[in-house]
Structure 1
Amino acid sequence: MSTPEPAPVCYRHPDRPTWIRCTRCDRPICPECMNSAPVGFQCPECVSAGQSAVREPRTVFGGRLTSSSTVTITLIGICVAIFVVQFLVGVNAVASDWGMWPAAVAVNDEWYRLLTSVFLHG
């Protein structure tokens, strides 16, 4: 009968026997060195190597993500300003001047109404 093979030791802690291996580099790792991965465990060096290769997030069309929301804040500001004007002047006056009246757009060549009608709240 042969002698059983001794347990491998952790590559970072030679005094700790272990049967767990890193799924990327196949080195033996102890419970203190184990990092959970989607499949199995990884050693600290493989985890740090994997984190450096993380890609920068992008939008659906490939643009960079920004932390500022200038366009959104501007549109909200325009909506609030026109709401205040409607409240002060009267809804009917503002709606008739800036609203989406198809006849005014076509006959009078007032194409700005296609944009300004979006911001009305009356």
Structure 2
Amino acid sequence: MKQAIVARTDIGMGRGKLAAQVAHASLSAFEKSDSQLQTQWKQNGQKKVVLKGESERQLHELAEIAEHGGIPHAIVRDAGHTQLEPGTVTALAVGPAADDRVDSVTGELSLF
């Protein structure tokens, strides 16, 4: 099992902002998953990968694929308190789910 977090590379987030957005996405998708998935993922080390996303459009397209596949996912929009405009889409988390299910959505992306 794993979770993939896709963070946008086209909006110039600083490292701290990037880390915060990845954390928000991870937790949000985890909270949307059912308790059985949550337990399995926690018992198996909570594996995560962070991947490069090129645009807001790409994140929405990937979220739609996850939705159709019944895979837990969450899109994060920034509150706009620091570097970004309010509502800026920053990251997408896919999973936790079986590795092959997550890879069916994000397998073509590069590691961050």
TMscore range, shorter length: under 0.3
TM-score after normalising by structure 1: 0.23
Query: Over alpha carbons, which structure has the higher Rg?
Result: 1
Is the strand fraction higher in 1 or 2?
2
Task: Pick 1 or 2: higher relative contact order, CA cutoff 8 A, min separation 6.
Answer: 2
